[in-house]
Structure 1
Amino acid sequence: MRRVEHVMGFPVSLRVDDDHVREAAADAVFAWLREVDARFSPFRSDSEVCRLDRGERPTVSAELREVLDLCEDYRLATGGAFDARLPGRGLDPGAVVKGWSVQRASGLLRAAGARRFCLNAGGDVIVAGGPWRVGVRHPEQADRLCTVLEIADGAVATSARYERGDHIVDGRTGRPATGLLGVTVVAPTLTEADAVATAAFAMGAEGVEWAAAREGCEVFAVDAARRVFRTPGLPVAAESPRRGAQV
C-alpha cells in the first residue's frame, strides 16, 4: 500500500509492505494529521493554538498540553535557544508538533497490524521492519547526498536552511541561527529526532555536541565552515561515505 497526500504544508508519503493492512489504516493516518493541522497550526486563526495565544481558551486539551510541556522541556534543555514563544511572534509549537504527530500516526499503523512501513513527512522519516535506507541531502547541492543511513526501526529528522531559508531562530538572541548548514538526528522516535534536530540547529555549532549527548540520539551535521561531524554510532550504510570528524 502506498499513499501520498499534502498535509500541514508538506508532502506526506506512506508505504506499508504488509498485505493484510487495509486502506483504512492509511485513512486513519491522514485523518489524524489533518486534525493536527486544524488544531495546532499557528497559521489558522480558529486553531486551538491561536485561540490559546489570544487568551480565548481557559483550558488546554491534553494533546496540546503534552506538546507545550515538550516545548518547555527543550527550552530549558537548550538554555532558551529552542523556544515556542519567540519575541514579537505568536505561539508556535510547530517544531514539536510535526514529529509528535507523525510518531502518533505510526502508532495507528502498528495498531492496525503494520510491521514493515515507511512514513515520510516532508523529509522526516519513521521506519519499521527494516532495514530501510534513508538518504541525507547535501545542504547546498539538491542533487547530492551527504550520506545514506541504514535503519531497521526508528526515526530520522533533519533541520537545515535549504528548504525554507533562515527560518529557525535562536531564542537567546532573536536572530536566525546560522552556525550550521544542516543537522540530522537518528532517534527511537520522531518526536525526539525532530525536536532535537531543530533545537540543535537553533543552538548553532554547540548544538552538535548537545544533540550527541542526548540518550539514544546519533547525529550527522555540517557546520557553516562546511566541516562534517558524525557520532560514532551513526548507522551509516556500508557503501556510504564515512569521512568526517566524530563528536
Structure 2
Amino acid sequence: MRKTKLYMDTVVDIQVVIWKLTSKEEAEAKADLAFEAFRNVEQACSRFSPDSELMLACREVEKPVQISPFLFEPLKIALEMAKLTDGVFDPTIGKVMEEQGYNRHYLTGEHMKSPSDDVVTYRDIILDERGHTIYLTKPLVVDLGAVAKGFAIDLAVNELKDFAGFVVNAGGDLFAGGVDENGSPWKIGIQHPERKDQIITKIEISNQAVCTSGSYERRNANIPGMHHIINPKTKHSPNDWVSCSIIAPFAMLADVFSTAVFLLGREKGQALLKSVDLKGLFITSDLEMVSVGGV
C-alpha cells in the first residue's frame, strides 16, 4: 500500500508492506494518521505562514508564550544543537534566511517579511520545560527547517510501528521500519548531487532513519556558493560538502545532525558525528564519498 500527499513543501510518501495479517483498510487508516502528523507539525512550525504557532509566538517579545508539543519539542532539540555547536547551528537564522530570498510560501506564494533585531542568537530564546513556554528577549525569527520534518517523520512512524514493514519518505528524508516485501532490510538510494534523477550509492537500513542535507537543492542564483544552509556567524554558506547523509535511530536526530555536520565542515563535522556515535555518508564537490561509522 502506498500513498502520497504534499506537506512542508515536500511530497510525503508512505509505503506499508501488507502481509496476510494486515488489511489494506487498516494500513490506509494508519497512513492517514501518519499524514496528520505532518499537518500538525507544519501548522506549528512553519516559518512561511503568518498564522502558524511559531510565527505567532515570534511576534510576542519579552513575555512567556505557552506552546504545544508540536512546536516545543523540535525547538528544544534545535536549541540543544545550537549549544553543542556553539551557535554554528542556530535556529534564530530565520531573518537571514528571509533576506536571502528563502521566504516564500510554497502554496500561497506569499512572501514573509518579519521584524527582527540585527544581532540575535539562540541565547535570546528561553524555553521553560515545566510550563512549556517560549520567551524571546528580542524580536527574532526562528527557523526550524533542520528539525521539523524529522520530527514529523518520527510522529508518523509512531502510527505505523506495528506493521512488519513501512517507509515514511519526506523528500528523501526518511525512516524505514522493519523489512521490505521480500523480508529483507530496506535498500535506500542516496541522491546524486549533480544528477537529480540518479542515485550515487545505496545503503541498507532497518528501523532507522536517514536524512540528507545538500547544497544542490536550493541555491541562491545571485551569489556564487550561496545556498539555503547558512552559517549564522559568517552569513555565508559552507561548501566543504555538497551532501551530508546521517543514519540515526530517529529522524529528528538524523535531520538536525545532517545540517549541523554540513555547517561545521569537514574536520569538525566528522568529529561531532564520531563523538555521538552516529553514522554518516558525506560527498564532496568532486564527488568523493567519505564514510563515518561504517556506512
Instruction: From the superposition, tell whether residues 232 and 87 of structure 1 become closer, same or farther in structure 2 (CA, over 3 Å).
Output: closer
Is the 1:2–1:14 Cα contact (8 Å) retained in structure 2? yes
Counterpart CA distance in 2 for 1:51 and 1:227 is 43
Is 1:115 aligned to 2:164, yes or no?
yes
Moved over 6 A (4+): none
Is the 2:208–2:247 Cα contact (8 Å) retained in structure 1? yes
Aligned with residue 43 of structure 2, among 23, 32, 38:
38
Query: CA shift at 1:207, angstroms?
Result: 4.5
Superposed counterparts of 1:49-64, under 5 Å: 49-55=54-60, 58-64=65-71
Aligned with residue 136 of structure 1, among 190, 204, 213:
190
SS in 1 for 2:242: strand
Superposed counterparts of 1:68-217, under 5 Å: 68-86=75-93, 88-89=95-96, 90-110=141-161, 113-130=162-179, 131-165=185-219, 166-217=227-278
Is the 2:240–2:265 Cα contact (8 Å) retained in structure 1? yes
Is the 1:155–1:187 Cα contact (8 Å) retained in structure 2? yes
SS in 1 for 2:155: helix
Unaligned runs of 5+ in 1: 235-247
When Rg is computed on C-alpha atoms for both structures, the one with the higher figure is: 2
Q: Hey, what does 2:15 align to over in structure 1?
A: 15
Pick which of 42-51 and 223-232 moved more.
223-232
Q: Hey, what does 1:244 align to over in structure 2?
A: none
Counterpart CA distance in 2 for 1:212 and 1:64 is 26
Is the 2:229–2:263 Cα contact (8 Å) retained in structure 1? yes
Counterpart CA distance in 1 for 2:242 and 2:292 is 17
Deviations 1:67-90 (A, max 9, x none): 211111111111211111027442
Deviations 1:71-111 (A, max 9, x none): 1111111121111102744211121111011111100112x
Deviations 1:52-72 (A, max 9, x none): 111177222233222211111
Deviations 1:18-43 (A, max 9, x none): 33333210111112211211121010
SS in 1 for 2:143: coil
Query: CA shift at 1:228, angstroms?
Result: 2.2
Is 1:29 aligned to 2:80, yes or no?
no
Is the 2:89–2:263 Cα contact (8 Å) retained in structure 1? yes
Instruction: From the superposition, tell whether residues 3 and 157 of structure 1 become closer, same or farther in structure 2 (CA, over 3 Å).
Output: same
Counterpart CA distance in 2 for 1:48 and 1:213 is 35
Instruction: From the superposition, tell whether residues 39 and 140 of structure 1 become closer, same or farther in structure 2 (CA, over 3 Å).
Output: same
Is the 1:197–1:211 Cα contact (8 Å) retained in structure 2? no
- What percentage of aligned pairs have identical amino acids? 31
Query: CA shift at 1:125, angstroms?
Result: 1.2
Is the 1:187–1:216 Cα contact (8 Å) retained in structure 2? no
Query: How high is the TM-score relative to the length of structure 2?
Result: 0.74
For 1:162, the aligned partner's letter is Y
Query: CA shift at 1:140, angstroms?
Result: 1.6
Instruction: From the superposition, tell whether residues 87 and 9 of structure 1 become closer, same or farther in structure 2 (CA, over 3 Å).
Output: closer
Query: CA shift at 1:212, angstroms?
Result: 2.9
Query: How high is the TM-score relative to the length of structure 1?
Result: 0.87
Is the 2:94–2:142 Cα contact (8 Å) retained in structure 1? no
Counterpart CA distance in 2 for 1:168 and 1:232 is 24
Is 1:222 aligned to 2:278, yes or no?
no
Unaligned runs of 5+ in 2: 97-140, 180-184, 220-226
SS in 2 for 1:157: strand
